[in-house]
Structure 1
Amino acid sequence: MKYERHEYFEIKIEKLQSNSNLWNQTIAYANNCSWNVGRHLAKLLEQDDFQDFEGVFIALSGNNIIGFCTFLETDYYPENRYFPWISSIFVDEEYRGNRISEKLIQSAINNARMFGFDKVYIPSNIIGLYEKYGFCKIDEIENYDGDIDNIFMKEI
């Protein structure tokens, strides 16, 4: 499937705050996005049980949410031998190809540095994307569904 590239649009990445008017908008966006992980993110936001260093980053074009990622201590694995996780990385189909996921990941990395982390991890079944952003595959882990995910790590 090929997506139309937008010629020019300004992207803003923001760490979502629970008192933000974007909180409920992000829940609605996540619930309705094309990836089922969005519904999991919506539940996390509804519970609002994040540790100080954890959070959700959203990509905005104007007032429209066009993507998100999480920064969490635990992820979708019975064996949680790595942390912190940058995960649930999603960009609207019509905005893909504009390096928005890279901007989301970089914002999460900047957050990790502020809290003293020296490594971050991304779980994914995709090969060839996160390597472009300086991540290396270091492991494979079985998730709660019984599927095997690649684990990528980057020293920051």
Structure 2
Amino acid sequence: MKAQSIKKGEYLWEKTIAFSEKCSWIAGTHLAERMRLNSFADWARVIITTDEENVVGFCVFEEKGTMMPPEYDFSPFINLVFVDEHYRGKRISELMIRFALDYAKEIGFKEVYIKSEHHGLYEKYGFEKIADFEPIQGPANQLFRIAI
């Protein structure tokens, strides 16, 4: 398995759109639409994991958390973490998160945020829970931070 970042026009961009559009998570269609529009800052990255030539997971490293209450104005975020059901339990989300953290450090960030409804998942990757909040949309109701 390999984690990598992709940008519009690169080989796996269209494959990732197709994968995210057909994945079992409703937020996948949101990512597919954003990728079609290429609605990302220049430094933001769509990060994927592949098995051979098949996309099996994705996340986005970007400026803001999606659907965050305005009082949580932190940056940058790892958003939209998804791993195909057949590949879960193989630490693919960790692979993508580590890739995102390395990239964040490389471009000068000192900390990174992530939101989630999952308890205990991101703490095992070194994140600390810093807040509970009422989500604007979706189930993610906890905010985590990691220093890098």
The TM-score with structure 1 as length reference comes to 0.88
Cα distance in 2 for partners of 1:142, 1:126 equals 15
Partners of 2:48 and 2:58 within 8 A in 1: yes
Match of 2:115 among 112, 115, 123: 123
Q: Which moved more, 1:83-92 or 1:137-146?
A: 137-146
Distance 1:108 1:146, change over 3 A: closer
Cα distance in 2 for partners of 1:16, 1:144 equals 29
Cα distance in 2 for partners of 1:54, 1:146 equals 23
Question: 2:78 aligned with 1:77, yes or no?
Answer: no
Question: 2:106 aligned with 1:114, yes or no?
Answer: yes
Match of 2:26 among 36, 58, 67: 36
Unmatched runs of 5 consecutive residues or more in structure 1: 1-10
Q: How does 1:49-88 map to 2 (within 5 A)?
A: 49-74=39-64, 75-79=66-70, 80-88=72-80
Paired positions, count: 146
Please state how far the C-alpha of 1:141 moved relative to its aligned partner. 2.9
Match of 1:20 among 2, 5, 10: 10
Q: Which residue of 1 aligns with 2:95?
A: 103
Q: Which moved more, 1:79-88 or 1:54-63?
A: 79-88
Unmatched runs of 5 consecutive residues or more in structure 2: none
Please state how far the C-alpha of 1:52 moved relative to its aligned partner. 2.1
Partners of 1:73 and 1:84 within 8 A in 2: yes
Partners of 2:116 and 2:140 within 8 A in 1: no
The TM-score with structure 2 as length reference comes to 0.93
Partner-residue secondary structure (3-state), 1:120: strand
Percentage identity across paired residues of the two chains: 41
Show structure 1 runs of 4+ deviating over 4 A: none
CA RMSD of aligned residues (A): 1.4
Please state how far the C-alpha of 1:147 moved relative to its aligned partner. 5.3
Cα distance in 1 for partners of 2:24, 2:140 equals 22
